[in-house]
Every structure is written in structure tokens, then in C-alpha cells.
Amino acid sequence: MQTSNIQTGTFSTFLNEAGVENDTSILLLHGSGPGANAMSNWHFALPFLAGSYHCLAPDIAGFGQSQHNDHPRGTSKWIDTWVQQQIDLLDAKGIEKTHIVGNSMGGGVTLHLLDRHPDRFDKALLMGPVGAPFAPTEGLTKGWQFYKDASEEVLLDLIKKFLYDPSILGPDVEKIAAERYTNVMKDNVRVQFEAMFCDGTKAGIDAFVLPEDRLANIPHQMMVTHAREDYFIPLSNSYHLVEHIPNAQLHVFHHCGHWVQIEQKSAFNNITKQFFDGAFD
């Protein structure tokens, strides 16, 4: 595993990379919770997939160590930034085409990448994705509007709700919350996160939605995964996507929360590898 800072447009992207000796690449895009970054999402998946694939897990602009120079106001402008960031990253690494995995908000970014730059991607796997129309959930609203009532206790409650069974992490839950809280209360992190979702949760959700005719034109082989007990993104989102994307199929995890890649890490990792290996073709 190695890390580096890659120039992507006007700002630097912090990249976690593994399996560089492999010929086929996977780009992994994380979700959007307060304090989220690539390795908080992919610390189990990255080393597993790196046995067969060249894995690239960037901190998305405005998260982790990929701090954007400007503060665009509104989710739509940030989506444009996030999409271009990934294309700039692939160009900088000399990667013409890659598989892609998108978690939650990263799933929404993935859909826009497939829509705008279809030739740069092969297969796609989504996990608990935004990108379909839905009413704001309590969990997503608490996450995207976190700074209206920011506290370590609120963040701890959110992190527990990412899991169907928080005891799976034991005392690490409190440790994760404390570490994230220190990060999210930094001024530069706060101002960017607030700018992303300044128009409210509903406007943020709608910004990711692609019309049905554009979903129908996404040609890629796609595996959509979702947890039945997801507190943040409703399972109906994934049903909507597989109904309209012609080559999409769905796997639903039971007794599992939004952090499928942690709570069901073995099953998720194996399904992901098998999908990209061609087992579901």
C-alpha cells in the first residue's frame, strides 16, 4: 500500500493505492458522512482486492486530505468538481479505462461518471447509492446537516447508526467518533462540507438524480448492492436503479446497515471480486 498526492486540476488529490503491479484497475469512491475519507471506507476492501487488481482510493475533493482551493456553493457544483477530479486522476495515472466502485455519495458520483464519460469505465459496482429520487431520511439529514448541531455525541450516534449491530466494532466505535470529530471541526473541513449541502438535504439528493432516459443509456455491466436495514439511503433507491439501468443486477444484504463493506466485509469483498472477475457475466 502506498499514498501520494496527485495534482488534479487546481488542487491536490490524496490517493491510497495498492496492487500497482496488476494490469486491471479499480477506482473506489467513498461516501459523504462527516469526517469520511477513502481509508475509513476501504480499509478492508483495498488490501483484499489488491491481490488481483490495481486499486486506487482517492479522498474525494473536500474530504480527508483532498482539500479543494475553492468552496463551490451547492451540491451540483461539487458533483461537477468530483467528476472532473476522477478524470484528472485517471489521466495523471495514465489509466485509459478502469472498473469503478461507488459507496453512497460515491455511488452517485459513479453514475455521473458513467453518464458523462462512459468510455473511461468498464464494470461498475454501487453500494447503498444515492442517485435515485427519494424523500430525505432522518439519517442522511443528520449527516449532511451535521454542523447545525455539531457535537461528538451526535457524531457517535451517527456512526453507530451506520451499522445494524454497532457491537461488531466494540470500543472502536467511540475511538472512531473521537478521531472523526477532531477532523470535522477543523475550519477548512467544515466550510467545505457546509458548502456541499448548503441548499438542504432534498436539494442535495436531487442534484445526484439522473433522468430515467439517461439511466437507460448507461451500458455498463453493474452490480448494485444495498443493506436491507440501511438507516441513511433507502433500499428503494437500488430497486429504482436496477429497474432503469439495462445491465444492472442487485444483491441485498440482510441484518446489515449502511457500512456493508465493514459489517459484511467478507461477503462484500468476495461479491465485488467475483463480479469484476466475471462470475456474474
Q: Catalytic positions, please?
A: 104, 230, 258
Neighbouring CB atoms inside 10 A of 215's CB total 22
Is 120 in a helix, a strand, or coil? helix
String of b and e for 109-136 (b: at least 16 CB within 10 Å)?
Answer: bbbbbbbeeeebbebbbbbbbbbbebeb
> Which amino acid, residue 74?
G
Residues 6+ away with beta carbon under 8 Å from 149: none
CA angle in degrees (0–180, nearest 5) for 259-3-187: 70
Of 277, 258, 266, the C-alpha closest to 127 is 258
Residue found under cell 464494470: 123
CA angle in degrees (0–180, nearest 5) for 229-40-194: 85
**What backbone torsions phi and psi does residue 10 show, to the nearest 5 degrees?**
-90, 0
CA dihedral 183, 187, 193, 199 (to 10 degrees): 150
